[in-house]
Amino acid sequence: MSGNEVYDLIIIGGGPGGLTAGIYAMRAALKTVLIEVGLPGGQMNNSDSVENWPGDEHIGGADLAIKFSQHAQSYGLEVISQEVVDLEPGLDFHTVKFANGDNIQAHAVILATGGNPRKLNIPGEEEQYGKGVSYCAVCDGFFFRDKTVVVVGGGDTAAEESLYLAKLAKQVYLVHRRDALRAGALLQQRVKAECKIEILWNSVVTEIKANDSGVCGVALQNTQSAEKSELSADGVFIFIGFEPNNKLVPAGTKMNANGYVVTDEKCETNAPGIYVIGDLREKYFRQIVISASDGATAALAAAHYVEARKSAESCELPEALQTET
């Protein structure tokens, strides 16, 4: 990569959506670059097991991430590791700016920057991060073998991670603010059948307690009776959703109240040639297969967009001829 290089397509983010977009873009013969500063595969790397990826009844998240990456690079996809600090839309080209001062341009850009774990924003959470507070069971579960942990959440991720932690921990308390989980039916059955998991219904964690060694428990409050209690625990794992990484979304781009980008069926934003996919895009469900679908859709749409742009440019008369009458 050289400064001010021009591409057909720039993909920012190397999760399942971004890598799938890379595959489809290369198959469409677009000059494409994918930018990713972390591990290829994104949030897939944090999943112990993926059981709903078509064609693989059971595969580790990190293994699936490797497959995605290898598939994309088998087409010769250029991948660079640089921090992107700005995306500047333009009439002719969109400009991506890097922290090191370099710029690259493209006819089209796909934003696949995903999101970060949503925080509880309660006392002790930030102070004890890395000392017993975690947002990734696959990353940190090993440190809680034969210990007691609290999992906060009620969706698919909370259920999956509770089951994973039950293989390691002595006891898992799943704290959910409602009287029913939001996880899929099969996951709910597994959670309820696991003897190491106890669900604390209608409860919220209001504080994470700690001593000199780190986390030692949590303060709880019942959402119906307002009754307060405390629970001893060695670790707290928080899975209450994600916040979109929308800092690179250009000003004027349509977003919903939660900061997710609104697109059309082609994953295109209200800025022509700028597409948003995966967990950054407003949608009803967030799954690997849906992010991959977004990536394919956006890349195919971008290919048509780029072809139309190039055709229009090639048909433009030279300025000297345009002024002759």
Amino acid letter, 201:
W
Angle (deg, nearest 10), helices 288-315 and 16-27:
40
H/E/C letters for each residue in 227-277?
Answer: CEEEEECCEEEECCCEEECCCCCCCCCCECCCCCECCCCCCECCCCCEEEC
**Residue for token digits 């990353």?**
139
Amino acid letter, 65:
A
- 273's CB contacts (< 8 A; 6+ apart) are 89, 94, 107, 108, 109, 302, 305, 309
Q: Is 173 exposed, middle or buried (0-12, 13-18, 19+ CB in 10 A)?
A: buried
Gap between the Cα atoms of 66 and 135, Å rounded: 22
**Residue for token digits 């250009």?**
250
Backbone torsion region of residue 214, taken as left when φ is above 0, otherwise alpha when ψ lies between -120 and 50, otherwise beta: left
Gap between the Cα atoms of 91 and 271, Å rounded: 10
Which sequence positions are flagged as catalytic?
136, 139-140
Q: Which helix (H) or strand (E) holds 187?
A: helix 185-193
